[in-house]
Amino acid sequence: MELDDITISRAITESFMKDFMDAMEVEVAVVGAGPAGMTAAYYLAKNDIKTVIFERQLRVGGGMPGGGMMFNRIVVQEEGKKLLDEFNVATREYSKGYYIADSLEATSTICSKAIKAGAKIFNLISVEDVMIREEDRITGLVLNWSATSLAGLHVDPLTIRSKMVIDATGHASEVCHIVVEKIGARLRTDAGNVAGEKPMWAAVGESRLVENTREVYPGLIVAGMAANAVFGDPRMGPIFGGMLLSGKRAAELAADILSKD
């Protein structure tokens, strides 16, 4: 068979557009394909909840592939190991209660599981705003190609509708910041705004993460490092159990809220 270049181009364009159009009405839109966002998407999709992730970067994984200071290993504790076991990511006990995993295996496996469960991941797309309706409830996202802002081009965005949004943007907690800046300090935190993360303290940071994974504004759940940043708790560095557990918790919360709709 002689390959036709144009058929290749048509195949890519048509299948991408079909999926992108389908992603314009979803139940849950996750911002950020780091460990928390991809874990949330996996559990949601596994539960037959229509889920999409938008990721700014070319590659997925957020801070996970880089491990600790570019040593591509991650550490998880007992509870995190259980999730890595569920994903079938190999772990090795380093000392009692501390498990090591290959950060690339963890990233690629969780990504693959999320996609195979039915979640769609769109990379190279940045979320630049949220969409609101009556009473300022968040009802979707405003998207643009990451390349437009990199190039400094003035191009208007497009929108998607979603019943719930998960802010899994890591340290930056970008969606929560957008809500505070554009709607006012009405997050469900003490001061109504993003408190800002505290310096490194793995034990406290990890222990606070699942509790901080909450619906912080109608239609908006915060997960992963963003949750500690929003509630003013410490960062925790290259221990990743909390990120996975927070992603799972965000999925459970979203499913619960959707079931009451």
Binding site for ligand 48F (CB under 6 A): 31-37, 54-57, 62-64, 126-127, 168-172, 174, 224-226, 235-237, 239-240, 243
CB of residue 183 to ligand 48F, shortest distance in Å: 17
Least distance in angstroms from the C-beta of 134 to ligand 48F: 25
Task: Return the structure tokens found at 50.
Answer: 């229509």
d(CA 127, CA 194): 18
Q: Report the residue number, 62 or 140, with the smaller CB distance to ligand 48F.
A: 62
Nearer to ligand 48F, 61 or 163 (CB): 61
Nearest residue (CB) to ligand 48F, 37 versus 140:
37
Nearer to ligand 48F, 64 or 84 (CB): 64
How many CA atoms does the CB half-sphere of 258 hold within 13 Å? 23
Q: How far is the CB of 180 from ligand 48F (least distance, A)?
A: 14
Name the DSSP class of 197.
Answer: P
One-letter amino acid identity for 75? V
CA angle 212, 44, 238 (to 5 degrees): 50
Question: What φ, ψ does residue 250 adopt, rounded to 5°?
Answer: -60, -40
CB of 231 to ligand 48F, least distance (A): 13
Distance from first CA to last CA of the chain, Å, rounded? 52
Beta-strand relationship, 138-145 and 125-132: antiparallel
Q: Tell the smallest beta-carbon distance from residue 106 to ligand 48F (Å).
A: 11
Q: Which is nearer to ligand 48F, 139 or 213 (CB)?
A: 213
**Residue type at position 250:** A
Closest CA to 166 of 125, 219, 129, 212: 219
169 or 189: CB nearest ligand 48F: 169
Residue 182 CB partners (closer than 8 Å, separation 6+): 129, 130
User: Nearest distance from residue 118's CB to ligand 48F, in Å?
Assistant: 20
